[in-house]
Structures are given as structure tokens and as C-alpha cells.
Amino acid sequence: QRNPFFYEIARWELERLGVPVDMIVTIEAPVSSTHDEAVAVQTFATSHDVHSVLIVTSAYHSRRALSVFRKVFDDKMTTGVQAAAPGWQTPLPSCWWFSVRGWQMVPGEYGKIIYYSLVY
């Protein structure tokens, strides 16, 4: 037994919501960073003639994700971002500092923004 990958859970949820199985595409390339994800998506998009990408991520991560994807795509593809609704995994933007999860995620994101702006 193993814990399912997030993309597997997302696929199951899409199927539960009625999205036809043949319309769901999963990019299963192993990644360890937002930059790696952007490169994997760019590779897929280029080989499948995709012209635009909508990134769905947490509100606290959306600024960095959009910046990284735009740099990797180098203006060759339309890129947008949509923040997912806050839930048990993502603290509310107005009160993240009231939760342990917020303190685990949000301050680290500021460090990552600085790192990514310097490295990429």
C-alpha cells in the first residue's frame, strides 16, 4: 500500500465531477520545484501544440508560480493563474498568521520569491 500522489487524487476528483476520462491528461514527470514543473509543462505543451496554460495553485504561491512559468515559457505561450479556494491545506489570506499551517507555509514563500528572483 502507498499514499496516492496528488495528481492521482486530482484525477479521481475530476472523474467524480464528471470530466470524461479521455479529457484528463496527466504529466507524470518527476519534479522537485516550481521551476521543474514549469519545464515539464512547457515540454508537454510544446509537443501537444498547446498555446495557453492556466495555473491553479494556492493564493500564497500564485505570484511566484506565475513569474516562474512566464520566465520558462519566455512569452511563447499565454499564461494565467487562478488561486484555488482556501481549505484545510491553504490558510485564508486575511488570517494565515492564526494557524500553524499558515506559519509553516507563508513566510517560507517569501524566501522562495527572493531565491527564485535571484536564481531564475
Residue 25 has pLDDT above 70, yes or no: yes
Q: Using one digit for the tens of pLDDT, what is the confidence trace for 34-90? A: 999 999 999 999 999 999 999 988 887 888 899 999 999 987 889 999 987 776 666
pLDDT of residue 85: 77
Q: Report the candidate in 44, 40, 39, 38 with the shortest Cα–Cα distance to residue 61.
A: 38
- Kindly report the pTM of this predicted structure: 0.73
Q: What are the φ/ψ torsions at residue 49 (nearest 5 degrees)?
A: 55, 40
Number of C-alpha atoms within 13 angstroms, CB side, residue 100? 0
